[in-house]
């Protein structure tokens, strides 16, 4: 295996572990949605790598749509969620599965869940690759969770810091000196 990027403190989840877990999530989702068509909603931009791998691990019929939400500035949540890009298709009567990279405070997904519920999907569930359960400010439980992770700033496998590091094939902890100022 090649050495990690110089800005990475340590690799938290190596590539092979991600692959195995995404495969298992795909099998679980395929079992739960047997006989249905699942509409996957990817939350841009962080979920793109996870979404593309998960999509290929799902064996039931599915379609995808994308939304772009923004609440983070650098390494911290601004606390205000903005919708930057909305869905193209209606989700009324559909079985919707939101695919997210990471749940932290829960504010982003709570906003999204409440917004999507008003569009009357038949069902609405959440799948997140990473879950920082200890950081929750608002009750939110994803049905499908890849990995529970500690409260550290993570990058790679789609997750960025100021738009960098999304291409790393693993999830890693960013070196403290790369972050602007102390974490809150």
Catalytic residues: 104
User: d(Cα 130, Cα 119) in Å, to the nearest integer?
Assistant: 26
Q: Is 153 in the site for ligand 5GP (CB under 6 A)?
A: yes
The DSSP result for 114-157, as a single string, is HHHHTT--SEEEEEEEEE-GGG-SS----SEEEEE--SS-EEBT
68-107 residues in contact with ligand 5GP (CB under 6 A) are 71-72, 77, 100-107
Q: Is 129 in the site for ligand 5GP (CB under 6 A)?
A: no
Other Cβ atoms closer than 10 A to 116: 18
In this complex, which beta carbon is closest to ligand 5GP, that of residue 42 or of residue 106?
106
In this complex, which beta carbon is closest to ligand 5GP, that of residue 33 or of residue 174?
174
Q: Is 108 in the site for ligand 5GP (CB under 6 A)?
A: yes
Q: Could you say which of 67, 99, 154, 171 contacts ligand 5GP (CB under 6 A)?
A: 154
The torsion region of residue 5 among left (phi > 0), alpha (psi -120 to 50) and beta comes to beta
Q: Are 102 and 159 in contact (CB under 8 A)?
A: yes
Instruction: Write out the residues near ligand 5GP by the rule CB under 6 A.
Output: 46, 71-72, 77, 100-108, 153-155, 159-161
């Amino acid at each position: 295996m090649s050495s990690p990027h110089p800005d990475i403190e340590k690799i938290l989840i190596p590539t092979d572990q991600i692959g195995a877990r995404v495969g298992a999530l795909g099998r679980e989702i395929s079992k739960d949605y047997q006989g249905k068509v699942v509409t996957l909603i990817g939350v841009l931009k962080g979920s793109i790598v996870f979404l593309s791998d998960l999509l290929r691990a799902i064996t039931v019929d599915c379609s995808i749509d994308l939304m772009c939400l923004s609440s983070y500035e650098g390494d911290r949540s601004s606390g205000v969620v903005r919708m930057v890009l909305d869905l193209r298709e209606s989700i009324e009567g559909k079985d919707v599965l939101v695919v997210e990279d990471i749940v932290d405070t829960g504010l982003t997904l709570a906003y999204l869940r409440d917004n999507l519920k008003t569009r009357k999907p038949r069902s609405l569930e959440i799948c997140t690759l990473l879950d920082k359960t200890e950081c929750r400010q608002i009750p939110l439980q994803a049905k499908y969770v890849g990995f529970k992770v500690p409260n550290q700033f993570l990058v790679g496998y789609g997750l960025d810091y100021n738009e960098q590091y999304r291409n790393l094939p693993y999830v890693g902890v960013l070196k403290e000196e790369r972050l602007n100022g102390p974490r809150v």
